[in-house]
Amino acid sequence: MTISLFLFYILAFVATAAAVMVVAARNPVHSVLFLILAFFNAAGLFVLIGAEFLAMVLVVVYVGAVAVLFMFVVMMLDISSVRMRGGALQYLPIGLLVGIILLVELVLVGGTWTLAGSEIASPSPPLDSGVTNTEALGRLLYTDYFYAFQAAGVILLVAIIGAITLTLRERGAIRRQDISMQVHRSRAEAVQLRKVKPRAGI
Amino acid sequence: MAEIWSGTLWPVLVIVFYILLIAVPLMLAMAYLTYAERKIIGGMQLRQGPMTVGPYGLLQPLADGAKLFFKETVIPTGSNKIVFVLAPMVTFVLALIGWAVIPFGYGLVLADINVGVLYLFAISSLGVYGIIMAGWASNSRYAFLGALRSSAQMVSYEIAIGLIIINVLITAGSLNLSEIVLAQSGLWYAIPHFPMFMIFIVSILAETNRHPFDLPEDEATLVTGYNVEYSSMTFALFFLGEYMNMILMSAIAVILFLGGWLPPFAIFPFTLIPGPIWFILKICLVLFVFIWARATLPRYRYDQLMRLGWKVFLPLSLAWVVLTSGFLVYFDMLPR
């Protein structure tokens, strides 16, 4: 058994176990932590098949940003895990339905993969062997799929603006710090020297 | 059997040896960084700093370590024990594994991977987990507030750091750290990218929660923030992690902007000194700036910190990306 095979089994096992624990953990914060562990192992699997760029992007985007937000939200909410458990049976039928559909789809994909042979089994275009996969990905995205890539960017931009608009509200009496105004105050308008008589005040 | 030995076990043992070769001097450097910090700040404030333990107080870090080691580890009753113990370990491990891709000299690197910069960026973006886990698991208001402040701060400054790294990547044309250093053999990037270098230095102060951005451990308002419930070795791991992160971030700054192991000029007296020594000297220079900032600057207010990150650094570094790529494309200087 080679090291990479051994690593594959470890990573795959931990990823699956962590994914199960995301659903099974009683404490929602623990669920998020297990989710992070699952992301991590998925990144490890990417490294094993030689897609190191995807692995790093997975860690930066999902673990470094998305999961931090999850963590924030889950920590802030005061979720009582006992109350949450109560409704589990109620949602069982729909959960089972979704699960069965997913299973059937996966079996279909796997079935066509093995039946159709080499055409579908390697759907990716051939790469130059001398090119790093970051460069290969960049070439593909910025030449062949340029418009799709730009469209995805625009959609994300719209989503950002939408999110900001949703949370933006006018607040009336709020005093903001205007730094340039503070800096440009002169001594004449900021300081006054007065002679104050005793017991008279200003 | 011999095949397993030569094919699997022996390479693993060699790698473990290399890891120790990096990690052990690093621990030592970390210990003496705390000493250097106390001495330098002492000098800046007209004090002597530690003088009692050993000649010139040189054994002070060892005494501190022994003290922390023999103290009792207190785990609060209301805390979430597993996460509570896990948090300092996460911080410490993340501070260590970044060093796997740092090139100390030409070819002197443990893992020469093609996405070295992204790896470092990923590792530094994970640093927030140690703090957020500590804050939540302590089950204490101060710790939790510290953790929230810290995560918001680190996430904000990471964006500026990411954009600054993009500038360097466009200019160097590679994600490999060794190649980035070699691309600077004519001119260090600190010169053409001088504004970015400045912003990067300020951002790594914020990213490592150091003065003047040490709001997560603001003594005056939060006792000491996220690590208030920690004691003994669990605290020591946080402390070690923070200083290790400082060294790591300085090393990244040196690699991206100060030409890594390259001498300042490739002429006779400078080329006598080997690359790793130059690398260490440059790291010490950046670390001095870290300590200097601590001795000089007052702490930022939280809204000022957020304003600086989002309204000043983010637009500035984004504009610089446009400027750099425009310049390189117009003068046809893009690296091939």
- Name the residue among A52, A64, A72 with its Cβ closest to that of B126: A64
| Averaged confidence pLDDT in chain B | 86
- Name the residue among B12, B115, B132 with its Cβ closest to that of A56: B115
Q: How is B35-104 classified by DSSP, letter by letter?
A: HHHHHHHHHHTT---S-SSSGGGTTHHHHHHHHHHHS-----TTS-HHHHHHHHHHHHHHHHHGGGG---
Q: By the 8 A CB rule, do B239 and B64 touch? A: no
Q: Where are the domains of chain A?
A: 1-86
pLDDT: which is higher, B44 or B269: B44
Q: By the 8 A CB rule, do B290 and B250 touch? A: yes
Closest alpha carbon to A49 in A119, A144, A124, A146: A124
Overall average pLDDT of the B66-83 stretch: 84
Q: Is the pLDDT of residue B76 over 90?
A: no
CA distance B333 to A82: 63
CA distance B176 to B180: 6
Overall average pLDDT of the B138-157 stretch: 83
pLDDT, position B1: 57
Q: Is B229 on the interface with A (CB under 8 A)?
A: no
pLDDT, position A137: 83
Q: Where are the domains of chain B?
A: 1-70, 77-330
- Residue of chain B whose Cα is closest to the Cα of A3: B8
- Residue of chain A whose Cα is closest to the Cα of B162: A60
- Residue of chain A whose Cα is closest to the Cα of B151: A68
Q: Is B128 on the interface with A (CB under 8 A)?
A: yes
CA distance B91 to B133: 10
pLDDT: which is higher, B28 or A113: B28
Q: Is B118 on the interface with A (CB under 8 A)?
A: yes
φ, ψ of residue B189 in degrees (nearest 5): -70, -15
pLDDT, position B135: 84
Report CB contact under 8 Å: B114, A177.
no
**Chain B residues with beta carbon closer than 8 angstroms to that of A64:** 122, 125-126, 128, 158
Please report which confidence band the pLDDT of residue B305 belongs to, taking 50, 70 and 90 as the band edges: confident
Q: What is the largest CA-CA distance in chain A?
A: 102
List the CATH code of the domain at A1-86: 1.20.120.1200
Q: By the 8 A CB rule, do B118 and B175 touch? A: yes
Complex prediction ipTM: 0.81
Report CB contact under 8 Å: B158, A3.
no
Q: Is B180 on the interface with A (CB under 8 A)?
A: no
**Chain A residues with beta carbon closer than 8 angstroms to that of B115:** 52-53, 56, 134
Report CB contact under 8 Å: A65, B83.
no
**Chain A residues with beta carbon closer than 8 angstroms to that of B129:** 36, 68
Report CB contact under 8 Å: B122, A63.
yes
